[in-house]
Chain A
Amino acid sequence: MSVSSPAERDELNHLLQQSGRNDQHAFAELYRRTSSKLFGVCLRMLRDRGQAEEVLQEIYATVWRRAASFDAAKASAITWLVTLSRNKAIDRLRQHREEPMEDPSMLDETIDEQPTPAADAETSQEHRRLQHCLDQLEPQQQRSVREAFFTGATYNELATRCKVPLGTMKSWIRRSLMQLRTCLDQ
């Protein structure tokens, strides 16, 4: 699901706000409309269906409890939900740090998260802007940012995976983040 239409965005905002008022039907509808997206995010980061299901359950339990704190003026519902999902997934990854992903084939697979032209047409305007800014980065740095975002890896893990010193990875990512900010805030 790419929430690209403003109408859909508003509907999700409304459903999340209603959930914050203990409206169970709104909450069920919110689940119906967002769970596939959030499950995709969890699965992408955790790469384990069982764990992703557990985390998805935690996510919606948190949504139900915290929906009242959602402020549509600060973020859209979908951003709020994806953020929450990534945070939960990253927390889970950090708990299981003793089992790092060492499979080198995984890196090749995860590196290329470029949308296909068809998929790209469906992504939001925000995504296209971000993509434009990512394209201005050095290829290696762009890959590192993507890898970080999609796998929730720490600096250490990223450095190991990309076989560069930790300091190099840190400076790649930090420089990329600053460049992205400049480009996006223009």
Chain B
Amino acid sequence: MNMPIEDGNNNLRYAEYVLGVLDADARAEVAHEVLVSGEAATAVALWQRRLMPLADTIGDVTPAPYVWARIHDALQLDAPARVTPRKGLWDNLQLWHWLGIGASALAVALLVVVSLPRPTPTPAVVSAGYMAATIQQDNGSTGWTATMDLQHARMVVVPATPVAFAQDRAPELWLIPAGGKPISVGMIARDKPTTLVLDPALLAQLGPTAALAVSVEPIGGSPTGQPTGAVIAKGAIGTAPNAVGKVADTGRTQGDRILRSLG
């Protein structure tokens, strides 16, 4: 056989292997060759270097936290079972866009995740890990969704539909404990996700009896430490329920009570 052609054909097979167009049998053949032949391994590595940059355009998607937990368990690692992806949950715009639409579904999904392994439901909020709230405007449409990561003391607030504000006004987020005064969580963006750090005092107040509300304030925040402008959206915080199906109901009822008292 003529060497140059042979070289060409083989090289094509390696290229096809890397591109991924070969069927299972042909793939297995090349994979075997790579293991036993240095030449094949080099040719394949070259093609990988040529073609793999295409993957640059594939967007990041943060896997659910339990994936690492499973890997951790399967490999019997000693390192901490929790890993927070650096460009993860909190920065993933795709996820937040999706969240803006399906916040309640997410709240339920998160609660399913956190509550499934627990045979007896614990009222302790801290054990749940995550909490979520849909902050609704008076017209019933979702203004923002908030997801709270208790372990990392963070809250991400995502606008579902940008709300219009006067030029010198901005939305401020408040936590309202049952029977308590609103506590400022921070200023939030009206058109993009905002990540807020929750200090221990705030964290201690988070729970199924608390609610979130958004008021219209001067750009720098309320000058008084209490809401000074109109409350334009509010929502109850959902947490680990006795039964997952009850999440929305229990959460909403308690929240509504608080919100009515807020006026």
Grouping DSSP codes into helix (H, G, I), strand (E, B) and loop, the A interface class, with mixed when no group exceeds half, is helix
Q: Is B119 an interface residue (CB 8 A)?
A: no
From B15, B57, B70, B75, A113 is in contact (CB under 8 Å) with B57
Q: Is B249 an interface residue (CB 8 A)?
A: no
Residues of A within 8 A of B75 (CB): 60-61, 64
Q: Is B229 an interface residue (CB 8 A)?
A: no
Interface string of B74-86 (1 = CB under 8 A from A): 1101111001111
Q: Is B4 an interface residue (CB 8 A)?
A: no
Does A148 contact B19, Cβ atoms closer than 8 Å? yes
Residues of B within 8 A of A173 (CB): 16, 19, 21
Interface string of A21-60 (1 = CB under 8 A from B): 0001101100111011101110110000000110011001
How far is B54's CA from A150's CA once the two chains are assembled, in angstroms?
Answer: 9
Q: Is A127 an interface residue (CB 8 A)?
A: yes
Does A154 contact B79, Cβ atoms closer than 8 Å? no
Chain A: interface size category? 35 or more
Q: How many A-B residue pairs have CB under 8 A?
A: 156
Interface string of B86-101 (1 = CB under 8 A from A): 1110001000000000
Does A28 contact B20, Cβ atoms closer than 8 Å? no
| Contact A74 to B50, CB < 8 A, known contacts A32-B83, A152-B20 | no
Central interface residue in B20, B55, B74, B87, by most chain A CB within 10 Å: B55
Chain B: interface size category? 35 or more
Does A31 contact B68, Cβ atoms closer than 8 Å? yes
From A75, A94, A95, A114, B45 is in contact (CB under 8 Å) with A75
From A52, A74, A90, B20 is in contact (CB under 8 Å) with A90
| Contact A181 to B15, CB < 8 A, known contacts A40-B58, A53-B64, A126-B53 | yes
- Give 8 A-B contacts (CB < 8 Å), ordered by A residue: A32-B84, A36-B87, A40-B59, A53-B64, A60-B71, A94-B23, A94-B24, A181-B11
Residues of A within 8 A of B (CB): 1-2, 24-25, 27-28, 31-33, 35-37, 39-41, 43-44, 52-53, 56-57, 60-61, 64, 74-75, 79, 82-83, 86, 90-91, 94-95, 97, 113-115, 119, 123-124, 126-127, 129-130, 145-146, 148-150, 152-156, 158, 173-174, 177-178, 180-181, 184
